[in-house]
Every structure is written in C-alpha cells, then in structure tokens.
Amino acid sequence: MLIRSERFGPGPIIAIHVLAMIGVLFWLSTIVGAFVEGSSNKWLVAVVGLVLGGAHVAISRFTSLRSNRAVFAMWGVFIGDSVLAIFVNWQAIALVLFTVVLLLLTRTRSARMWFAS
C-alpha cells in the first residue's frame, strides 16, 4: 500500500522530509550537547552542525519545491558525513548510511515522478 498525501506528496517524499528533519534535530542536539558539556571544540561542532543541519533544511525545502537541488544537497551531506566518519569518528558511518537511505528514496518511481513534475 502506498502512503499518499496530496499536500506533502507520495510516501518516499514524506519519508525524505521526515528524515531531513531528524537530521536537523540530530545536529541541533549535537551542537547543544557540545556547549553544555563545555567541549573544547564546541565552535567547530557548531560550524559543522550548522552547515550539515542547514543542508538537511535545504533537502526538505528543495524537495517541497520539487527541485533536483535536493539530491545535490543530499550528496553534500553524504560527502560531509563521510569526511566525519573517516577523519573524526568512525561511528559517523551511521550518518553516511542515513544519507544513503535519503538518496535511495529519490530513486523510487513516485519520487522520480514528484521531482519531474
């Protein structure tokens, strides 16, 4: 059964919005956590979080506009998360996999139709 909402789009599009907002919440909590804990690199965490969190906002916004720029934003997040996983913390691989799911959702038939219209 396909989940469909005329206002928000087909199921994969709704899932893209939900996952993008989860990404925003993740980065907000990471930034707040860095400041609350008094981390020595809290400003670096804030910059990275604002860039990648902002990219998640862009993913959702561009998806709403039916713009293929959403896919470019996803690739930007994928690259950023990959750099984090390689150079900062291997556990960031979970973020990379999260972004892979976003990219796979754009390949569904209904999502391709959404972006093409």
Distance CA 56, CA 41 (A): 22
**pLDDT per residue as tens digits for the range 26-37:** 999 999 999 999
Residue 50 has pLDDT above 90, yes or no: yes
Average pLDDT over residues 32-60: 96
The label of the residue with tokens 């993008």 reads 20
pTM listed for this prediction = 0.89
Q: Which of 71, 93, 63 is nearest to 81 (CA)?
A: 93
**pLDDT per residue as tens digits for the range 62-94:** 999 999 999 999 999 999 999 999 999 898 999
Q: Which of 106, 98, 100, 96 is nearest to 70 (CA)?
A: 106
Buried b (16+ CB within 10 A) or exposed e, 75-92: ebbbebbeebbeeeeeeb
